[in-house]
């Protein structure tokens, strides 16, 4: 290993371990916005009257003079706008949103910084989407994975040689694993987009559980690929404890306690572990695409810093979390490019070895 690579490896290892406590500390953040008595009284008033300041809203079904459909008691109420109905914005949530905007406008006029409400920054809703930037970037990540896996499968089955005796089985030993990985990633980004569109108990659980399953599978893949595990028994031995742990963790979250702190620790430990495995492997291997791997690992680690320096949304739209989702889009593209390179490298190696073996016979 070259001295430069050794230095690089040391830096990334230290970086990863310094990152861990920082991220854990960042999750100790409370939400000062919803503890503000002015905000609480605004929400209470809104629930009773359907109004915040001079603006009144139809979702509370409070009778409002001047038009609309007939209510249960024969009085006139306004209809819920379609985009709000679609994303289940009920009276309580609408009041919370409007009071948050109201309080933030007041705070801004006094030169105060934005604060979080119920664990979230004050975002401007667009078309009923709670965090529009995170929704768009989640969908772009989803698209990057779909394009990535399609190009990977096209390469494997249409461009690279296939094993003759296995009826179209690729030479690449990790083809099945990367395909399963793509399915987990697509599922995870789908629920991420839904959760950012509308934060509800069910969408939150689906997003968190899909993410933890993806991180667990990525760790299994990191162990199998960096350890060059090609024998079935070795793969089962490496993956079984992780699958058991992830299954137990998901059951615990859903049927015992939805512990955010514990879940975040689990995700970070598994994330840092795979980061270390890939960086160690990139430093030792002579793989032709190791530079791409380095960029993804370093880029991924740097992107995690955005979660640490969790800044409020710029123009009410782009917060640190949404930028993090934006950064992972090009990294995903590069990641699939590395996977394709790996498939090409391994296939050509195995194919050439097969040809040499035939010549010797
Ligand atoms: Zn997210």
pLDDT above 70 for 12: no
pLDDT of 67: 38
Cα 135 to ligand 1 centre (Å): 8
Question: Given pLDDT bands bounded at 50, 70 and 90, which one contains residue 224?
Answer: very high
pLDDT above 70 for 183: yes
pLDDT digits (tens, 9 = 90+) for 289-331: 889 999 999 998 888 778 777 788 788 788 888 899 999 999 9
pLDDT of 42: 84
**b (16+ CB within 10 A) / e for 19-50:** beeebeeeeeeeeebbebeebeebbeebbeeb
- The tokens for 216 are 């667990």
Average pLDDT over residues 181-208: 90
H-run or E-run covering 52: strand 51-52
pTM, two decimals, is 0.78
pLDDT of 3: 55
Residue pair 327/159 in contact (Cβ under 8 Å)? The answer is no
Cα 80 to ligand 1 centre (Å): 28
Main-chain dihedrals φ then ψ at residue 128, nearest 5 degrees: 80, 0
pLDDT of 245: 92
Bridging pattern class, strands 69-70 and 55-56: unpaired
Question: Given pLDDT bands bounded at 50, 70 and 90, which one contains residue 88?
Answer: low
Question: Given pLDDT bands bounded at 50, 70 and 90, which one contains residue 90?
Answer: confident
Q: What is the rounded distance in angstroms from the CA atom of residue 325 to the CA atom of residue 320?
A: 9
pLDDT of 153: 95
Cα 108 to ligand 1 centre (Å): 26
Residue pair 182/148 in contact (Cβ under 8 Å)? The answer is yes
Fold of 3-29+127-360: Rhopdopsin 7-helix transmembrane proteins (1.20.1070)
Cα 82 to ligand 1 centre (Å): 25
Cα 94 to ligand 1 centre (Å): 22
Helix, coil or strand: residue 314: strand
Cα 26 to ligand 1 centre (Å): 15
Domain boundaries, the chain: 3-29+127-360, 33-109
Cα 126 to ligand 1 centre (Å): 17
């Amino acid at each position: 290993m070259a001295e430069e690579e050794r230095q690089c490896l040391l830096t990334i290892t230290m970086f990863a371990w310094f990152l861990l406590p920082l991220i854990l500390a960042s999750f100790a953040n409370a939400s000062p916005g919803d503890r503000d008595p002015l905000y609480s009284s605004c929400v209470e008033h809104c629930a009773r009257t359907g109004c915040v300041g001079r603006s009144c809203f139809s979702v509370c079904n409070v009778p409002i003079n001047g038009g609309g459909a007939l209510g249960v008691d024969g009085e006139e109420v306004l209809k819920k706008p379609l985009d709000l109905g679609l994303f289940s914005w009920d009276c309580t949530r609408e009041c919370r949103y409007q009071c948050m905007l109201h309080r933030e406008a007041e705070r801004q006029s006094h030169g105060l910084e934005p604060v979080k409400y119920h664990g979230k920054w004050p975002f401007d809703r667009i078309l009923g989407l709670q965090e529009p930037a995170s929704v768009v970037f989640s969908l772009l990540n989803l698209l990057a994975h779909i394009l990535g896996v399609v190009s990977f499968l096209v390469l494997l089955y249409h461009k690279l040689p296939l094993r003759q005796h296995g009826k179209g089985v690729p030479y690449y030993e990790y083809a099945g694993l990367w395909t399963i990985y793509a399915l987990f990633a697509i599922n995870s980004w789908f629920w991420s987009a839904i959760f950012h569109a509308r934060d509800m108990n069910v969408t939150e659980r689906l997003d968190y559980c899909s993410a933890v399953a993806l991180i667990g599978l990525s760790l299994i893949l990191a162990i199998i690929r960096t350890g060059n595990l090609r024998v079935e028994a070795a793969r089962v031995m490496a993956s079984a404890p992780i699958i058991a742990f992830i299954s137990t963790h998901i059951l615990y979250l859903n049927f015992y306690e939805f512990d955010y702190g514990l879940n975040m620790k689990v995700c970070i430990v598994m994330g840092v572990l795979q980061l270390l495995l890939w960086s160690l492997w990139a430093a030792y291997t002579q793989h032709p695409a190791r530079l791409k791997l380095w960029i993804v690992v370093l880029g991924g680690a740097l992107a995690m810093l955005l979660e640490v320096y969790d800044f409020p949304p710029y123009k009410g739209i782009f917060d640190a979390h949404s930028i993090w989702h934006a950064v992972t889009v090009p990294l995903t593209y590069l990641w699939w490019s590395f996977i394709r390179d790996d498939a090409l490298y391994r296939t050509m190696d195995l194919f050439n070895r097969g040809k040499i073996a035939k010549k010797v016979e």
